[in-house]
Amino acid sequence: MMGHPLAGTGTPGPMSAALESVRPIAPPDLLEYLRKTYAIGGIELTMDLGGSRNLNLLITTGSGMLVVRAYRGGMSLDRLAAIQSVRKALRAKGVPTSVVLATRSGESWSRHEGQIIEVEEFVEHNAQLDSWGRLEGGLPVLGKAHRILRTLNVSPAGKKPPIANYLSTAEVQEWTPRVMKRVESWSLSEEHLRFVRTAESLARRLYEAGGSIQGRLPVQLVHGNFWGANVLFQGGKVVLVTDFDFMGEQARIDDVALTLYYANSTLSEDPLSDECLRRLRALVDAYDAQLDVPLTPDERKALPLAIARAPLAAMRYIAQSKTADEARHLIASMSPDMAWATSILDDLDRWQQAFS
């Protein structure tokens, strides 16, 4: 299945190129370094597992398969420590997360050629979170994770990701006007300008519709990218929740809305249909059933607004695209989503009633 252009997984594209350093590459002596640094014996490189942000290599050792992750330059040791502590807390309470292999000196990370490196146990899997059926099994896990994350306190570095693939209401107001200035300087087509005007209108309408609710929404630590290859399955069961690069503090329904948005965008033939709304509502209820503090009426009312806000994350990437071609590529990818997000606002009562 094709990945979503904002999901932060899969093949590197204009989104990641515009805002971040390039994806790390494996130094020629990486395997030799791993042999010296970790007690893992003979090593063979099996494959590059992909991922648009970090380098993820599957290696085969005498004791089994491991994943070697080299982080982008934006990862700090403070943030990595927060991510590792969160993974450990979730795993202790029954949410499957990665198990890190310590170095010979007992550290949970190492550094080589300027790259921060983690080595973790490989988890066998045969599917990922990219179907309606697996969403039914995945959303309760997200609810359970949120229940645990709500109780955790991490460092400031753990609360704010260097970059996010979902914008807050305030960030939408900041980035959308920048895009118009950038697009006008490139002299793009009328179709591209219409996309930006639609985004500006959507941002304004979302602010007007949700401004009074926003301050009443519970904020907590969330995963930040609960979708696709970040949630792995074996035999229909979630066996690994990974990639906490986007972890941070925000409204918990924003985390849910992002997953619902990806699902609606990539899986629905008609993302505005009654059938689609029924599916989304069932997923929200499955998530809610795992919470110790259930969703409030305000949160349920705000969910359609949060889903409609999700495609506006593209504004940040378009504004910081290095070339007009990168901007054109992302605009073309996001135009259908911007259209149906606008249609949610056109029929907001129906969407809010569906989640109430």
Instruction: Give 32's contacts (C-beta < 8 A, 6+ positions apart).
Output: none
Mean pLDDT in the chain? 90
The residue that leads in pLDDT, 141 or 9, is: 141
- The CA distance from 179 to 175, in Å, is 7
Question: How does residue 21 score in pLDDT terms, banded at 50, 70 and 90?
Answer: low
CA 259/CA 225 separation, integer angstroms: 7
Residues near 124 by beta carbon (within 8 Å), at least 6 away in sequence: 234, 239
Residues 252-304 pLDDT 10s: 999 999 999 999 999 999 999 999 999 999 999 999 999 999 999 999 999 99
For the beta carbon of residue 149, count every other beta carbon within 10 angstroms: 22
Residue 352: is its pLDDT beyond 90? yes
Confidence of residue 193 (pLDDT cuts 50, 70, 90): confident
pLDDT tens track for 305-347: 999 999 999 988 888 888 888 888 999 999 999 999 999 999 9
Domains identified in the chain and CATH numbers: 14-123 (3.30.200.20), 128-355 (3.90.1200.10)
Torsion angle of the four alpha carbons 210, 214, 219, 224, in this order, in degrees rounded to the nearest 10: 30
**pLDDT at 13 exceeding the cut of 60:** no
pLDDT for 346 equals 96
For residue range 41-77, what is the model confidence (pLDDT) as tens digits? 888 888 888 776 789 999 999 879 999 999 987 899 9
